């Protein structure tokens, strides 16, 4: 074995976490109607609220974001990471939905990645949203892919 064989190789092992959640649009509509701004402010960021309220049917957009937040939480290690849903933001960009993390969520993800020998710096996060008013459900899917350092 030479010294070159002992050098760490980035990206040699993938680390993948995936979460998916399905939520009833009616359930979210009921929560919005019952708790109004207190629910919105506790669960959704101001930017999410602005986006959802500008849509023809805000409840299905809120539901999709709720599902994505729950999906993200399922990617984290531990049974109760204690990350508030408002620390996870799904914003709409030209190329699709994007996940933005406040420090509490970013720290929890960093800890999860570190447990697997990866880091937030090497991670890529993909989020997918879907909602169907006719079916009455919204789906959120989050995949986190990182890489580890492995010694040969």
**What's the pLDDT tens digit per position in 103-144?**
999 999 999 998 888 888 888 999 999 998 888 889 999 999
Backbone angles phi, psi at 11, to 5 degrees: 80, 15
**Which pLDDT belongs to residue 149?**
63
The residue whose two tokens read 């990182």 is 146
The residue whose two tokens read 């008013």 is 133
**Which pLDDT belongs to residue 81?**
62
pLDDT at residue 78 is higher than 90: no
- Local confidence band at 82 (pLDDT 50, 70, 90 cut-offs): confident
Say what the pTM is.
0.85
What domains are defined for the chain?
10-151 (3.90.470.20)
- Local confidence band at 79 (pLDDT 50, 70, 90 cut-offs): low
DSSP letter at 123 equals -
Higher local confidence (pLDDT), 55 or 81: 55
């Amino acid at each position: 074995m030479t010294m070159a064989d002992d050098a760490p190789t980035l990206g040699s092992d993938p680390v993948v976490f995936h979460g998916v959640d399905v939520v009833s649009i009616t359930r979210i509509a009921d929560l919005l109607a019952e708790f109004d701004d207190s629910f919105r402010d506790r669960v959704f960021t101001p930017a999410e609220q602005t986006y959802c309220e500008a849509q023809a049917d805000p409840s299905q957009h809120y539901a999709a974001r709720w599902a994505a937040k729950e999906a993200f939480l399922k990617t984290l290690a531990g049974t109760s990471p204690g990350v508030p849903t408002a620390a996870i933001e799904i914003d709409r960009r030209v190329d699709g939905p994007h996940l933005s993390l406040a420090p509490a969520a970013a720290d929890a993800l960093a800890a999860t990645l570190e447990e697997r020998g990866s880091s937030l710096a090497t991670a890529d996060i993909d989020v997918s949203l879907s909602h169907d008013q006719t079916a009455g459900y919204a789906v959120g899917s989050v995949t986190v892919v990182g890489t580890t350092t492995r010694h040969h």
